[in-house]
């Protein structure tokens, strides 16, 4: 029985890898891809999502455009926002278009049905959480349709990566993160503290390029074009692929280990987007999240190579 998931995303590079990983996995049924502004403006994140899904061959997967900006704060984009959508050289162009329905309406409709059927859905939140916050804020009953939210967000000991004090997905819309963190829905958090432990190097990129069909070629091109190596910070070669950890967790949770904690976020002031985790029960509030603290780096990249190689195998079958 496959897990039913919705991926809420703002495609950049990591998001693309997460989407291709999920779409290559028969263990996961991707009910829809809901898109939010974040790494780049909404028109570009939607364009990227369409190109990514099209290249996977799973073109029946519906894509929904969502929130164009954060709930309250001024808009902030990712490091490479000036580039806009992926070039056709990095990810081939596609005729695929998003659905007419708004992402938030799709979330509310689908999650309500899941609640009625007593068959809740897992949400992978790998962008700013604006779409989820709007759905949960306007219609709190939809929380019953969510099994868990597996989110790539937060930074506790690792400090930030877009600003020194915050992880980007939370920094881009801290009020949305607060709404999600306090919704009562079980959270699994993939913070920078953990994602910085798994750095993809040249050998893995080459293997994915060779074995991963068209998506593998695009992944290698994207990782080369947007190099996230940082020898000073990481102390070794390679760069993180943050968002893919959410899908890897659903496929092979044993690759990760963590601890329950109360996770919260600062929504205003100079350090808006700063997140804390109460690992030692200093607060009167109970844990709301399982925070991942360690990842099996070798196992994680073995999983990525193995799953993404299905694109190469399918390509070979089509050619035969």
Three-state SS string over 98-133 comes to CCCCCHHHHHHHHHHHHHHCCCCEEEEECCCCHHHH
Could you say which residues of the chain have pLDDT below 70? 314-320
Question: Mean of the per-residue pLDDT values for the chain?
Answer: 94
Q: Where are the domains of the chain?
A: 3-319
Task: Return the pLDDT at 316.
Answer: 43
Catalytic entry in 82, 102, 242, 315: 242
Tell me, what's the pLDDT at 241? 96
Per-residue model confidence (pLDDT) at position 230: 84
From the list 207, 194, 290, the residue with the least C-alpha distance to 241 is: 194
Is the domain defined by 3-319 classed in CATH 3.30.1490.100?
A: no
pLDDT in tens, 246-293: 999 999 999 999 999 999 999 999 999 999 999 999 999 999 999 999
Q: What is the pLDDT of residue 70?
A: 97
- Beta carbons within 8 Å of 32's beta carbon, 6+ residues apart: 6, 7, 61, 62, 63, 64, 106, 110
Residue 315 annotated in active site: no
Q: Quick one: pLDDT at residue 320?
A: 30
pLDDT for the residue numbered 315 = 54
């Amino acid at each position: 029985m496959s897990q039913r998931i919705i991926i809420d995303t703002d495609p950049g590079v990591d998001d693309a890898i997460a989407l291709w990983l999920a779409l290559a996995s028969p263990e996961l049924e991707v009910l829809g891809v809901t898109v939010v502004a974040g790494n780049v403006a909404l028109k570009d994140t939607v364009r990227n999502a369409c190109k990514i899904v099209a290249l996977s061959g799973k073109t029946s997967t519906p894509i929904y455009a969502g929130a164009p900006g954060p709930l309250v704060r001024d808009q902030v984009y990712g490091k490479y926002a000036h580039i806009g959508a992926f070039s056709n050289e990095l990810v081939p162009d596609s005729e695929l278009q998003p659905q007419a329905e708004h992402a938030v309406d799709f979330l509310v409709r689908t999650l309500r049905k899941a609640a009625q059927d007593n068959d809740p859905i897992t949400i992978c939140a790998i962008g700013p959480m604006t779409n989820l916050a709007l759905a949960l804020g306007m219609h709190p009953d939809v929380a019953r349709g969510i099994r868990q939210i597996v989110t790539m967000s937060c930074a506790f000991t690792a400090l930030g990566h877009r600003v020194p004090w915050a992880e980007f997905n939370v920094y881009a819309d801290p009020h949305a993160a607060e709404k999600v963190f306090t919704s009562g829905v079980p959270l699994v958090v993939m913070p920078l503290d953990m994602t910085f432990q798994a750095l993809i190097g040249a050998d893995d990129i080459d293997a994915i390029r060779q074995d991963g069909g068209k998506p593998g070629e695009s992944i290698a091109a994207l990782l080369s074009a947007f190099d996230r190596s940082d020898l000073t910070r990481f102390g070794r070669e390679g760069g993180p692929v943050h968002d893919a950890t959410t899908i890897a967790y659903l496929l092979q949770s044993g690759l990760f280990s963590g601890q329950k904690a109360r996770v919260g976020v600062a929504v205003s002031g100079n350090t808006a987007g700063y997140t804390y985790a109460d690992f030692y029960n200093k607060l009167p509030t109970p844990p709301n999240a399982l925070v991942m603290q360690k990842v099996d780096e070798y196992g994680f990249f073995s999983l990525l190579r193995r799953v993404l190689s299905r694109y190469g195998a399918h390509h070979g079958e089509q050619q035969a």
